[in-house]
Amino acid sequence: MIQDYLKYVQSVKGGAERTVEAYRNDLLRYENYCNNNDISVQSAEPYEVQKFIADLSAERMSAASVNRCLSSIRGFYRWMIRFNKRDDNPCSSLRNIKMPVKLPHVLWENEMADFAALPVSTGILWPERDKALIMAMYSGGLRISEVVSLSMASISADLDEAKITGKGGKERYVFFSDEAIAAIMEYLPQRAARLRMAGMDSKKSALFISRKGQSISVPGVRWIISRYAQHSGLGKNIHPHALRHSFATHMVNSGCDVRVVQEMLGHSSISTTQRYTHVNLEKLKNVYAKAHPHAQGASL
């Protein structure tokens, strides 16, 4: 039944490969637990699912991972109900574990400007491509999977916007700033030259490519960002998603409505976007602690 459910998630619900793999790992772990404790997966009681979740917490699994596992099980039983394999959902009374507020890693405006200048100033990899890559991710608030799948066909003729497909197959438009457009324009002739050498059509392939003319990969983007992070001297945890976090934080700080930012990011829940207001509040607290005479030296 688990395999049938996973096929349903992938083919009918349009679940991404990574999402389906996460569900598979969670459900197989749950199945093993049931088998080891003489529990029937099909007829498990609420207290038995709750015991499984409690055991995960006892193993010091993070709250986010425990909640994802519970979500996987909950969805599995919803599927069983829908296809008349069970009458009730044993997870309906179970609540997610409260998660600690974890602020995302961001680069402030001046730090982002310095980081975007690193490809040219260091010259360590492919400066024009890497600056365009960094600016596109930051300017458009792109996930790493979205920037990898960005193609020339998805970008407007003026290079100022692109239509992308995000999580869950949801489509949205993202926009590029003048600086991002300038960086992409400087990169495109070099991209075209490399694709000609590889015998490929520059109009049909991915926007960001490797030196060999192949579409850049997710590990490739991580490696590129990590190389520049090593040269940044900023002392921060800089990774591809930090550029998306920075985009969202800067938009909120500039007075952009949180719901507009939510749409730009492609978030399903407004609560996911609202954490960027907490980032701004944390920064204001730190500025206050350093500047106010009565607060100097205080720990906030």
Q: Could you read off the pLDDT of 242-254 as tens digits, one per residue? A: 898 888 888 888 7
Q: Is 267 a catalytic residue?
A: yes
Confirm if 101 and 17 have CB atoms less than 8 A apart: no
Options 24, 78, 167, 275, the catalytic residue: 167
Instruction: Check residue 279 and give its pLDDT.
Output: 57
Instruction: Check residue 285 and give its pLDDT.
Output: 58
| Model confidence at 299: pLDDT above 50 | no
Q: Could you read off the pLDDT of 154-190 as tens digits, one per residue? A: 999 999 999 988 877 788 889 999 999 999 999 999 9
DSSP code, position 42:
T
Q: Is 244 a catalytic residue?
A: yes
Q: Could you read off the pLDDT of 131-162 as tens digits, one per residue? A: 999 999 999 999 999 999 898 889 999 999 99
Residue-averaged pLDDT of the chain: 85
Task: List Cβ neighbours of 235 (8 Å cut-off, separation of 6 or more).
Answer: none
| Model confidence at 298: pLDDT above 60 | no
Options 86, 129, 131, 143, the catalytic residue: 143
**What is the 3-state secondary structure of 130-184?**
HHHHHHHHHHHCCCHHHHHCCEHHHECCCCCEEEEECHHHCEEEEECCHHHHHHH
Q: What is the DSSP string of 231-254?
A: HH---S---HHHHHHHHHHHHHHT
| Model confidence at 124: pLDDT above 50 | yes
Options 163, 239, 241, 278, the catalytic residue: 241
Q: Is 245 a catalytic residue?
A: no
Q: Could you read off the pLDDT of 18-56 as tens digits, one per residue? A: 888 999 999 999 999 999 999 988 888 999 999 999 999
Q: Is 143 a catalytic residue?
A: yes
Options 129, 131, 191, 244, the catalytic residue: 244
Options 86, 191, 250, 267, the catalytic residue: 267
